[in-house]
């Protein structure tokens, strides 16, 4: 019977990982901020399929929160998270304090991926956010020293940014993208979904539906991407969404806007129901 370890400090984590590696085990890693749902658990399952031992981290990272984003109220549900991971027979949970990750405070050496990738889309309205993400992920990679790390496709820009960091810094880690976990009606699984009212929850799947409509049109030869995105935005507002932050068709690697389907594309959509911000995307492979 697997006995899940809960490790709060880097030193015992490294000792355990080193022992596993001496035995020839491969190490899979799933970094999270906790408040786990089935989408997270699907990443854990993929890590278990691809590696001998799996480490899941739970750390709410203050460095990626802006001044108007309340780090203090981010949901922290460690007891229920711990039970879910134990039920999945995860090998180890890394549950560090802020001081363990940032002993000198967050004004420390940071990792900056060029603004070509980080200054648009999510980064356009959240300055410094991706520096916080890449810095903590790089630190966690150095602490855990995994062979493979699993990230979900839902936070697509984050996935591209982390892949760029790993490539640019020559980190010896395989980044594996996991498909978006979805509810039965197509809504992308997210911790944010718990804040939707019953009425908003009925409206929310329309984001995925309209992104799928754009995908179908593109695959049918429609290259009027801007018109397709504008129509989808208007439809979301008509369906009851309160705001559309953006719907864009982008190059899947550079995240730059494109005008034709001659390379892999990603259709990215972010819209709001009340105060709840929903993200979704569809990847189109050429």
Give catalytic residues, as residue numbers.
Answer: 40
Spatial distance between the Cα atoms of 273 and 239, rounded to a whole number of angstroms: 11
Q: Which residue has the tokens 């080193």?
A: 18
Q: Which residue has the tokens 């397709």?
A: 228
Q: What is the DSSP letter of 180?
A: P
Handedness of CA 285, 213, 221, 252 (dihedral sign): negative
Please check whether residue 100 is in contact with residue 140, taking contact to mean a CB–CB distance below 8 angstroms: no
- Find the Cα–Cα–Cα–Cα dihedral 267, 66, 41, 177, rounded to 10°: 40
Residue 193 corresponds to which tokens in the numbers above? Answer: 């979904």
């Amino acid at each position: 019977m697997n006995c899940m370890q809960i490790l709060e400090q880097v030193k015992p984590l490294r000792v355990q990982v080193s022992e596993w590696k001496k035995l020839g085990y491969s190490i899979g890693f799933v970094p999270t901020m906790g408040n786990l749902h089935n989408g997270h658990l699907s990443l854990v399952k993929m890590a278990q399929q691809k590696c001998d031992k799996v480490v899941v981290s739970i750390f709410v990272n203050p460095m990626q929160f802006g001044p108007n984003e309340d780090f203090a109220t981010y949901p922290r549900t460690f007891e229920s998270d711990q039970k879910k991971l134990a039920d999945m027979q995860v090998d180890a949970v890394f549950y560090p304090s802020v001081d363990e990750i940032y002993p000198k405070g967050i004004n420390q050496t940071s990792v900056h991926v060029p603004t070509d990738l980080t200054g648009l889309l999510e980064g356009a309205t959240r300055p410094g956010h991706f520096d916080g993400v890449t810095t903590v992920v790089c630190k966690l990679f150095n602490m855990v020293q995994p062979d493979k790390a699993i990230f979900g496709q839902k936070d697509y820009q984050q996935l591209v940014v982390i892949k760029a960091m790993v490539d640019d810094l020559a980190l010896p880690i395989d980044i594996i993208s996991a498909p978006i976990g979805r509810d039965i009606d197509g809504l992308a699984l997210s911790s944010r979904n718990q804040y939707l009212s019953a009425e908003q929850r009925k409206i929310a799947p329309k984001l995925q539906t309209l992104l799928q409509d754009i995908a179908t049109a593109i695959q049918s030869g429609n290259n009027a991407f801007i018109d397709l995105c504008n129509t989808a935005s208007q439809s979301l507002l008509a369906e009851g969404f309160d705001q559309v932050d953006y719907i864009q068709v982008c190059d899947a690697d550079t995240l730059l806007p494109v005008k034709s389907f001659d390379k892999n594309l990603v259709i990215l959509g972010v819209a709001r129901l009340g105060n709840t911000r929903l993200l979704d995307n569809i990847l189109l492979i050429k």
